[in-house]
Structure 1
């Protein structure tokens, strides 16, 4: 089984990058036949700006630009998509949101035409979300942030395309807890990545 692990963080030495690497290590240790690819959106200088060219794709007036088509091909090769990101203002960073805006396009991720019912085209895709937040669990619960993130990301993005969010993790207290705790949690995500039962934390 093969996983595409997408990272959105500007610092290569960040906890986010380290967690992504541990997820990869975990999935290989669970089964040496498993493979993974790390997609560092900052390092590859992915352009997150939704342009006129992207709008033309949405309206089916053009094919996806080369950078978008390359990302779609990466996802098509994967059995699982893992998004690893720091929580910025109770959501994902703009870079990752822009990647989704452009890559999950009409005609590839879903099929929308005003005269026909919506077709969800990513029903085969299994998604794992790993958000890394600085606040504690009580803060997320008290203000409803966890539920809000699930609504906008799990449901608003992936359910619209038919993709199954198999696991959705918030690794919290990242600025105060021992990094080893967060890294071990990342490795555990990797070990369970291709288990049949869904886990949500």
Structure 2
């Protein structure tokens, strides 16, 4: 099986990058036949800006540009997608959000028109989320940040497209916690990645829905 590990951090020496590598190592330890690809969005120079051209794609007036098609092909090759990212202002970094904005297009991730039911097109995809936060668990719980992250990312993005979020982890106190604790957790996630995915039920049903946003 094949995993796409998407990393959104500008510093290759960061804990975020180290966690992605540990996930990859865990995948290899689970089964030498498993494969993975690390998509380093910053190093690769992915442009996260949702432009007029992207709006035309959303309205089904133009085909996706080459960089978007290339990213969609990466996802299509994967049995699982792992997002590894630092939490910035209680959300994902703009780089990763822009990757989702541009890559998860109408017509590929979902089909929506004003006069038809929503069709969720990524029911085959299994998703694993690893957010790296500086605050502690009590802060996330007290202010509802953890639930807000799940609402906007797990449900608002991936459930909308039919993809199933298998694991959704927040590795907290990253500024003061011993990095080994988080690195071990990431390796364990990698080792269990495909086993956890296989335990899930397959495709979810299609339901009527509104578009994720107006994009006007």
TM-score range, shorter chain: over 0.9
- TM-score, length-scaled by structure 1: 0.97
**1:164 matched to which residue of 2?**
164
Structure 1 unpaired stretches of 5+: none
Alpha-carbon distance in structure 2 between the residues aligned to 1:156 and 1:124? 18
Alpha-carbon distance in structure 1 between the residues aligned to 2:32 and 2:133? 30
Alpha-carbon distance in structure 2 between the residues aligned to 1:180 and 1:118? 43
Q: Deviations over 1:146-175 (max 9, x none)?
A: 100000000000000000000000011110
Partner secondary structure for residue 156 of structure 1: helix
- TM-score, length-scaled by structure 2: 0.90
Alpha-carbon distance in structure 2 between the residues aligned to 1:197 and 1:79? 14
Alpha-carbon distance in structure 2 between the residues aligned to 1:197 and 1:189? 14
Q: Deviations over 1:114-144 (max 9, x none)?
A: 1110100000000000000011111111111
**1:8 matched to which residue of 2?**
8
Deviation at 1:111, TM superposition (A): 0.1
Partner secondary structure for residue 72 of structure 1: helix
**2:120 matched to which residue of 1?**
120
Alpha-carbon distance in structure 2 between the residues aligned to 1:28 and 1:197? 20
Alpha-carbon distance in structure 2 between the residues aligned to 1:141 and 1:188? 24
1:22-33 map, 5 Å: 22-33=22-33
1:189-200 map, 5 Å: 189-195=189-195, 196-197=198-199
Alpha-carbon distance in structure 1 between the residues aligned to 2:113 and 2:179? 47
Residue 50 of structure 1 pairs with residue 47 of structure 2: no
- How many residues align structurally? 198
Alpha-carbon distance in structure 1 between the residues aligned to 2:143 and 2:26? 32
| Runs of 4+ more than 4 Å apart | none
Cα RMSD for the two superposed structures: 0.7
Alpha-carbon distance in structure 2 between the residues aligned to 1:19 and 1:39? 13
